[in-house]
Amino acid sequence: MPARAIENESTVDADVSPVLTNGSHLSSQVVRVNPVRWIVNVTNAPANFYLVLNQSFSSGWQATLEWQADTASRLIAHEVRLGSSDHVEANEFANAWYIKSPLSANMSHIRIVLSYAPQNFVSIGYELSVAAIVLILLGGTIGWRFRTRWSSLKIARDSASL
């Protein structure tokens, strides 16, 4: 269990919730891509806040912070993976990340992508299993056709030699 933890009972009702340190909620849009991937868009983000994901705490959850900076009339995209020191336990069970603004001023829009890394291994295993089954079926079909054709050619050759 991490040394730091935050307590905020108001975040238990939502699956994903950006929360200020004083407990008030931020304006956000949460998109659940699938059970192991969430995208959170936070508008008018302050310099520092917590993002709470009400799933059982696991170090396998990762958060990536994305934002755009306007410099010299062009947008530059930035992406930072949050470290394990920013990932804490909230409400005695949930995942929370302490989001620190990488800029000195407040950011108007932040996109945070939450993903469960161990699921990647399961997905790769599933894809390899499907590929193996396809190769086995393909090999069996080719072998069966070759054996059938070879047998018919052998029978024809044996009957011609009589």
pLDDT attached to residue 37: 87
pLDDT attached to residue 150: 72
Q: Which two tokens stand for residue 144?
A: 């069966």
Other CB atoms within a 10 A radius of the CB of residue 14 amount to 15
* Mean pLDDT on 5-11: 36
| Residue 12: alpha-carbon gap to chain centroid | 22
Whether pLDDT at 139 is above 70: yes
Q: Which two tokens stand for residue 108?
A: 């108007």
